[in-house]
Structure 1
């Protein structure tokens, strides 16, 4: 498995993979459509954030996106695994990359606004509950907020 930056011409396919990955939590079509904008990778994401793709000889296995604020706070914007590749360790590898990358930029913590079904994974990886955050996709919906001390 290698980690590499995405190519601009694959942003649509990677965005589709994010939606397929989100769909494993049994969201209906209306909810998935509400998530579409937030899960779509853009060229601005490539310009302003760090995005990495996990890939092997079988193809793309997942991706992660980390942002850094001016105050040094780092955010895990995206971490998605191709549904057929779940359970292979790709999510763990991407999460470790995200933590190390953020730490390398001088961040002291990685902030995660997690899907409620994904929160146990992040807690297992060492993130601690830190309240809630309003969803960027659905007003009035609140997500678990977690912090991983770096």
Structure 2
């Protein structure tokens, strides 16, 4: 599959937000859960967002996206989502590698990740280590794996 990484554009925020929701729904969450996540998965700007684009659904478009934001020596992986039709094709790894390179370039020494429980094994395969739990930003009483990946 041919794909390219490029910065997100402000005119595609709605499309990218829909991709995040579609990717999250891949894990079988019910409608109420997805409604609760909508606000948190709605992109408001393109700061730190990279898109992986390629052939999808009869055309070319976003196959995934990631967002990394750096403060001092800490990078936060805010988003990493892959279109359900493209999961398992190495795009998540490419996005994660970009996030690590971008974080290093901005002076970060570690990457913080609050992962969906279904994604924790992926991040561990990328070298991250679970260090605790973090409260969900969408679902009261739900906790997410908190991981750190040294850079």
Equivalence map 1:1-150=2 (5 Å): 1-43=3-45, 46=46, 49-57=47-55, 58-69=60-71, 71-150=72-151
Pick the structure with more helix per residue.
1
Pick the structure with more strand per residue.
2
Q: CA deviation at 1:2?
A: 1.2
Q: Where does the alignment leave 5 or more consecutive residues of structure 2 unmatched?
A: none
Q: Could you report, residue by residue, the CA deviation over 1:46-102 in whole angstroms, capped at 9, with x for unpaired residues? A: 2xx310000124421100000112x32110000000101111110000000001110
RMSD of aligned Cα (Å): 1.0
Secondary structure of the structure 1 residue equivalent to 2:52: strand
Q: CA deviation at 1:138?
A: 1.3
Q: Aligned partners of 2:40 and 2:73: how far apart in 1?
A: 22
Secondary structure of the structure 2 residue equivalent to 1:37: coil
Runs of 4 or more, structure 1, over 3 Å off, are: none
Q: TM-score, normalised by structure 1?
A: 0.93
Q: Where does the alignment leave 5 or more consecutive residues of structure 1 unmatched?
A: none
Q: Aligned partners of 1:100 and 1:20: how far apart in 2?
A: 27
